[in-house]
Amino acid sequence: MLYGSIELGGTNCNCAVGLQDGTIVKKVQFPTETPEITVRNVLNFFKENQVAAIGIGCFGPVNVDETSPDYGMLLDTPKKAWVNFPFLQQLREQLNVPIRLHTDVTVSGLGEMSASDKKETLLYITIGTGVGGGIILNGTLPNSSHHPEMGHVTLQRVEGDEMESACPFHANCFEGLASGTAIHKRWKQKGNELPSDHPAWEMEADYIAQGVCQFIFTLAPTQIIIGGGVMKQKNLLPMIHRKVQEKLGGYYFYDEIKDIEDFVILPRHGEDSALIGGLLLNAN
């Protein structure tokens, strides 16, 4: 029996078929275009590859309330063509299989949980075009009508950083200061074009560490996974480790924090975390 998985991101849409244990058998990627074109591509893939059920990790904000008639509808996203688009509903009408959906970061967290030995309270953060976070509590998805928007917590500006925030809502939020979009805006170059010794990375590590510390103090996660395109800069993770330790100021109020290299990690499933999580969502 094959299951389906969809990762609907702001830039790309990935689809996969695989096993309920998270093993991917086949996957494809296409750009996230208008809702109509994207839905058509998804439907074509799942008409060629029949599945018993589908799990979706979707960019947000999105309605995650399974009891709501608008479950799976995109909310007030900066991607205007997608606002109020009933993504899950449209797929359900065309594919006669059960479909579940949560945010891309939560579903990525679910995928990472299968590789973690510290899965009690797992926090998944993405630093990409945007910034977001999802939490998996004791191995299950949060059973709540709304999802957090961790990318919009307020951070303190690094001295000398006068760039206008990349977030249209907030002058000093995590996403506005630390997303890939913010890096591009601040340095007039994309993150993947900046050399590893560029001052951009010290500043970036500071912002990410600030966000991480806020989540440590408010959520007490047992492990934090940081994914997303910006984390492809190899020097960044060790800098984040150092800055998290500095900012905690020696206040290690539970044991997991002490082993920082095993506490704040990159995704063990690489770029497949969300697709694997989507397959697992069918069993969760």
Three-state DSSP state, 19: coil
Q: Which residues ranging from 123 to 182 are in contact with Zn ion (CB under 5 A)? A: 152, 167, 169-170, 173, 175-176
CA gyration radius, the chain: 18
Which structure tokens are listed for 219? 């959520």
Site track 22-51 with Zn ion (rule: CB under 5 A), x = hit: ------------------------------
Minimum separation from the CB atom of position 22 to Zn ion (A) = 32
Q: Quick one: 22 exposed, middle or buried, by C-beta within 10 A (0-12, 13-18, 19+)?
A: buried
Minimum separation from the CB atom of position 164 to Zn ion (A) = 12
Q: What residue has token string 């995928």?
A: 111
Q: Which is nearer to Zn ion, 35 or 176 (CB)?
A: 176
Q: Which is nearer to Zn ion, 95 or 213 (CB)?
A: 213
Minimum separation from the CB atom of position 239 to Zn ion (A) = 23
Q: Which is nearer to Zn ion, 169 or 217 (CB)?
A: 169
Minimum separation from the CB atom of position 131 to Zn ion (A) = 9
Strand partners for 163: none
Which structure tokens are listed for 160? 């000398």
* Residue 230 Rama label (left phi>0; alpha psi -120 to 50; beta): alpha
Q: Which is nearer to Zn ion, 173 or 264 (CB)?
A: 173
Side-chain half-sphere of 114: how many Cα atoms within 13 Å?
A: 22
Minimum separation from the CB atom of position 167 to Zn ion (A) = 3
Torsion of CA 165, 169, 174, 178, to 10 degrees: -40
Residue 185 makes contact with Zn ion by CB under 5 A: no
Number of residues that bind Zn ion (CB under 5 A): 7
Q: Which is nearer to Zn ion, 184 or 232 (CB)?
A: 184
Q: Which is nearer to Zn ion, 114 or 172 (CB)?
A: 172
Site track 206-245 with Zn ion (rule: CB under 5 A), x = hit: ----------------------------------------
Three-state DSSP state, 12: strand
Minimum separation from the CB atom of position 166 to Zn ion (A) = 9
Cβ-proximal residues to 5 (8 Å cutoff; 6+ apart), any chain? 15, 16, 17, 18, 24, 54, 55, 56, 57, 274, 275, 276, 277, 278, 279, 281
Minimum separation from the CB atom of position 237 to Zn ion (A) = 24
Is residue 132 within a helix (H) or strand (E), and if so which, with residue range?
Answer: strand 131-137
Q: Which is nearer to Zn ion, 180 or 277 (CB)?
A: 180
Minimum separation from the CB atom of position 144 to Zn ion (A) = 21
121-127 and 264-265 beta bridge pairing: unpaired
Q: Which is nearer to Zn ion, 15 or 167 (CB)?
A: 167
Three-state DSSP state, 55: strand
Binding site for Zn ion (CB under 5 A): 152, 167, 169-170, 173, 175-176
